[in-house]
């Protein structure tokens, strides 16, 4: 049985602004999601990949990966909530992936602080929803579950580490509990479970950098939108 520790954090609501996700804090702050902030770093690479494989293939791969990840994540969450997870009414591949990662979860994770919890930082002015905060090998950690077709190189995980570092900072602000360790667990279709363990402080400078990049991009887009709106308004009266 997994032990759960009670942490009282208010729920957050979301709002889409110009197709970007923002969270509304209990104090009325409007903070972009850390996923939205990090999406700027991925945009160029994804655009090049889409051009290479074509939109139809890209959309199929993205949908398949999202479906696989969502279903495995739900099974991990249920398992950590001490629910029995069986193959009944489960898709074959996600259930197989869960069975691969199950023993790693059972052996290493306990004392769970939060799951699927909305968090925010007034210091960094970002927000998000974390997969799991718990002790991993007796160390309080941000834990994220990922799926992949094959093993991942460590270099491919930079956005994951930055995102998890943001969650660690948010959680400490909200609860006073410091979280220094980041754990990314990747279960692959070719039968591997990868464990990536990092220290939060290594990625905080990059967190600041990506937030600054997002703010500059947002302000640039807003300025362009205002100019465009003004041009339309002027054109209506010409």
Q: Is 138 left (phi over 0), alpha (psi -120 to 50) or beta?
A: left
SS3 call for 132: strand
Tokens of 214: 């997002």
Read off the CATH number of the domain in which 20 is found: 3.90.320
| Number of domains comprising the chain | 1
Within a domain: 219: yes
Provide the domain limits for residue 222. 13-231
Distances (CA, A) of 166 to 22, 46, 202: 15, 23, 12
Within a domain: 3: no
Residue 67: per-residue pLDDT: 74
Distances (CA, A) of 23 to 17, 209, 212: 10, 20, 18
Within a domain: 121: yes
Q: How far apart are the first and last CA of the chain?
A: 72
Q: What is the mean pLDDT of each run of 10 residues along the chain (238 residues)?
A: 91 90 94 92 58 60 69 94 91 93 96 95 96 96 94 93 97 96 95 96 96 90 66 32
Within a domain: 1: no
How many whole angstroms separate alpha carbon 1 and alpha carbon 206?
A: 37
Within a domain: 8: no
Q: Is residue 21 packed enough to be buried (19+ CB in 10 Å), middle (13-18) or exposed (0-12)?
A: middle
SS3 call for 109: strand
Would you say 87 and 95 are in contact if contact means Cβ atoms under 8 Å apart? yes
Within a domain: 236: no
| 164 contacts: CB under 8 Å, gap ≥ 6 | 142, 144, 182, 184, 198, 200, 203
Within a domain: 63: yes
Within a domain: 5: no
Q: Is the pTM of this model over 0.85?
A: yes
């Amino acid at each position: 049985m997994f032990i759960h520790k009670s942490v009282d954090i208010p729920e957050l609501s979301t709002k889409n602004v110009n197709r970007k996700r923002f969270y509304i804090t209990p104090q009325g702050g409007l903070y972009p999601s850390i996923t939205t902030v990090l999406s700027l770093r991925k945009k160029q690479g994804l655009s090049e990949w889409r051009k290479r494989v074509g939109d139809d293939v890209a959309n199929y791969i993205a949908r398949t990966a999202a479906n696989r990840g969502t279903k495995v994540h739900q099974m991990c969450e249920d398992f950590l909530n001490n629910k029995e997870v069986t193959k009944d009414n489960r898709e074959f591949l996600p259930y197989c992936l869960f069975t691969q990662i199950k023993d790693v979860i059972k052996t290493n994770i306990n004392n769970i602080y939060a799951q699927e919890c909305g968090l925010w930082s007034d210091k960094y002015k970002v927000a998000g929803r974390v997969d799991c905060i718990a002790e991993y090998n007796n160390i309080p950690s941000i834990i994220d579950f990922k799926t992949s077709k094959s093993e991942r190189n460590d270099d491919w995980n930079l956005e994951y580490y930055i995102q998890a570092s943001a969650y660690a900072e948010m959680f400490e602000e909200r609860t006073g509990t410091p979280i220094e360790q980041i754990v990314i667990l990747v279960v692959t279709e070719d039968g591997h479970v990868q464990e990536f363990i990092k220290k939060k402080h290594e990625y905080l400078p990059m967190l600041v950098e990506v937030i600054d990049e997002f703010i500059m991009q947002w302000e640039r887009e807003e300025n362009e939108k205002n100019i465009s709106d003004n041009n339309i308004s002027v054109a209506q009266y010409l």
